Structure 1
């Protein structure tokens, strides 16, 4: 039998992120309808996830430490990031995150659990208990697709874009 951990190990790109209020209200898209995200699971039991809104404000100063109040709010509210150890419960198909660092400081040293389901190279993760988001309790649903390009291909793509910008 293949363990779920073996199936998780690797890098995943976000396809969708939806929050469903537990009160039954309409679904929410806290990072917009076209969020960007990367989720990585290492074989030694560490994970990292980063999710961002596509529409975050750019800093006028071009200095990451010098932002207006509006830019800081856009930056913070438009980004989710945490990392730490993970453990898989094969019997219940649940992954537990032991969060060691998080953009949202209240999650540090906390545990979160996600129900796991696979469909080919697509990974579905659902929170197992409600999370407080924008003043209401929600269940989060994230859909990920396994990355199939090598790191060299990604770097080459960005280098080609930089060369194109220089020439123009």
Structure 2
């Protein structure tokens, strides 16, 4: 029997990110309907995730450390990033993230758990406990697709073409 850890190892491209309020309100799309994201699991137990809104406010300055309040707020609201270690509970199909550092510092040195489900090269992750998001308790649902070389090559070709390189 293949372990879930072995199935997770690799790089995953985000297809969707939805938050469902536990009170039954309409679903939320905190990173918009077409977010970007990569989730990486390494064989030695490390993980990293980055998710961003499709359209993000550019800084008026070309200096990453010089931004006005609106630009800084938009940066924080439009990006999720954290890294750390991961452990898999095969019997319950749950992955636990032991977060070492996060863009949202309140998650540093905390654990988050996700229910795992697969359908071919698609990975479904659902939070096992609600989190607070914009003042509302929600469960998050993320759909990922295993990234392959063609995804990277197409992205690189498009960027290089736009830059005329």
* TM-score, length of structure 1 as denominator length: 0.93
What SS does structure 2 have at the residue aligned with 1:143?
strand
Equivalent residue for 2:52?
52
Cα distance in 1 between the residues matched to 2:146 and 2:57: 29
* CA deviation profile, 1:52-89 (whole Å, cap 9, x unmatched): 01121000101100111111111001100000000000
Equivalent residue for 1:119?
119
What SS does structure 2 have at the residue aligned with 1:48?
strand
Is 1:19 the equivalent of 2:27? no
Q: Name structure 1 gaps, 5 residues minimum.
A: none
Aligned pair in 2 of structure 1 residues 133, 43: CA closer, same or farther (>3 Å)? Answer: same
Equivalent residue for 1:40?
40
Equivalent residue for 2:137?
137
Structure 1 ranges of 4+ moved more than 6 A: none
What SS does structure 2 have at the residue aligned with 1:75?
helix
Equivalent residue for 2:162?
161
Q: Name structure 2 gaps, 5 residues minimum.
A: none
Cα distance in 2 between the residues matched to 1:12 and 1:147: 5
What SS does structure 1 have at the residue aligned with 2:71?
helix
What SS does structure 1 have at the residue aligned with 2:149?
coil
* TM-score, length of structure 2 as denominator length: 0.95
Aligned pair in 2 of structure 1 residues 155, 23: CA closer, same or farther (>3 Å)? Answer: closer
Count how many residue pairs are aligned between Structure 1 and Structure 2: 164
| 1:162 to partner: Cα distance | 2.2
Equivalent residue for 1:10?
10
What is the root-mean-square deviation of aligned Cα atoms in Å? 1.5
